[in-house]
Amino acid sequence: MRRRTRLLVLLAALTLIPVAPAVASRGSTLQHDADRIRDVGVTGVLARVTDGAGRSRSAVSGEAELGTGRAPRSDGHFRIGSTNKTLVATVVLQLVAERRMGLDDTVEKWLPGFVRGHGNDGRLITVRQLLQHTAGIYDGNFPGMADAAEYHEKRYDVRTEEDVVRAGLSHAPEFAPGTGWSYSNTGYNLVGMVIKAVTGRTWYAEVDRRVVRPLGLRHTYFPGTDPGIALPHANGYTRFAAGEPYTDTTELIDADASGGYISTLADLDRFQRALFGGRLLQAAQLREMTRTVPVDDSTNELWPGARYGLGLFARDLSCGGTVWIPGGDQIGYKTRLGVLTGGRRSAVVSMSTQLFDSVEVAFAQDRAATRLIDRWLCR
């Protein structure tokens, strides 16, 4: 893969970029930072920040639908992309706490004979490795859409976790399990299959039972084969190449364990604060989630010092300390979250646009979102 293409792929792999140190000033408002994201070319921006006392405020910028002049709503729904991976990892760690499975269980234990061929061997891959992207599962066959024509052709395609995993296993692994790091959506589909083998229920039924309902996330749901998004929502747009118009990519059937759920700012903020506040995981399991490994060279080129735990990234804040990032992308939408250890402060940004004009433009979009989050968490 050419370096330019590789960088664009990694920008869609869901994390934040370090920025210059945050400097407090009278003009450094939440609305100002939301507007700066819009000015990069993002059609609609939703942002929410919460302090240590649980006080929240929100800002919106741009349009909910191009050409209407209608502002997006701060309670709008959006696709959360790979924030989904944090939900999946939380379910696995709860099952570990219940002694129903172990992080170092092999895939073979739960899916005997399924991971075989082309150099893939489930006897050598652990659940922990799948969660931290060190299993080597090939992700190059994961379904994607390179242009507007392909989006319109494939947006209603239905596939199962098994379909996705079989496509990945038809190729040799990226590396021997435990010897490298490579972001793998396909690997998380395999985790979804393991959860079903352990519990007898789908991964999303377990997310609903263990996370969504206990936390009262009334606007968070798994869409299944429904391509729409509940109202209210901002339309999602993608610019697939420089000079092209925005393509409305709101409708999509792409709900699997790597990135399926739909949610809102308030619900995602409640989730991340509950997670790091100790309401969802016992201390031992939260330590496992936040035990990080280095990322690969290409990712580190984009985000120096970034690290990966179980289902989420970490990076250093400009003011010192660590921000935990259960963020994600799905066509038409980019979601960036940030929470401090203990859930003391948090931020959520939803952008209803993906910009693939160039590495530089994609980088600028991420950097603008990071600036907002970094500024708030460093207050």
pLDDT digits (tens, 9 = 90+) for 12-46: 444 333 333 333 333 358 999 999 999 999 999 99
Rounded Cα distance, 363 and 287, in Å: 31
Model confidence over 86-142: pLDDT tens digits?
A: 999 999 999 999 999 999 999 999 999 999 999 999 999 999 999 999 999 999 999
Average pLDDT on 291-304 reads 85
Please say if the pLDDT value at position 312 is more than 90: yes
Mean pLDDT of 180-209: 98
User: Among 17-21, 87-91, 184-188, 302-306, which is the least confidently predicted range?
Assistant: 17-21
Instruction: Judge contact between 82 and 75, C-beta under 8 A.
Output: no
* 82 annotated active-site: yes
What is the structure's pLDDT at 278?
Answer: 97
**In Å, how far are 66, 292, 307, 354 from 125, measured between CA atoms?**
46, 18, 21, 33
Q: 207 vs 18, 211, 222, 230, 236, CA distance in Å?
A: 31, 5, 9, 19, 25
Look at residue 167 in the predicted model and tell me its pLDDT: 97
Query: What pLDDT is attached to residue 9?
Result: 52
d(CA 219, CA 268): 10
The answer to whether 38 and 61 are in contact (CB under 8 A) is yes
Range of the domain at 296: 3-377
Average pLDDT, the chain: 92
Name all contacts of 92-95 with Cβ < 8 Å and 24+ positions apart: 92/127, 92/131, 92/191, 92/194, 92/195, 92/310, 93/281, 93/285, 93/286, 93/288, 93/289, 93/310, 94/210, 94/280, 94/281, 94/285, 95/195, 95/198, 95/199
pLDDT digits (tens, 9 = 90+) for 242-292: 999 999 999 999 989 999 999 999 999 999 999 999 999 999 999 999 999
Q: Does the CA dihedral 164-169-175-177 come out positive or negative? A: positive
Per the model's pLDDT, the better-predicted residue between 62 and 359 turns out to be 62
Q: Which amino acid is at 359?
A: V
pLDDT category, 11, cuts 50, 70, 90? low
CATH code, domain with 15:
3.40.710.10
Q: Under a CB-based contact definition with an 8 Å cutoff, are residues 314 and 307 in contact?
A: yes
Q: What pLDDT does residue 304 have?
A: 75
Number of domains in the chain: 1
At 204, list the tokens. 């999303």
Among the listed residues 56, 58, 61, 82, the single catalytic one is 82
Q: For position 137, what pLDDT does the model report?
A: 98
> Among residues of the chain, what percentage have pLDDT more than 90?
86
Q: Residue 77: what residue type? A: H
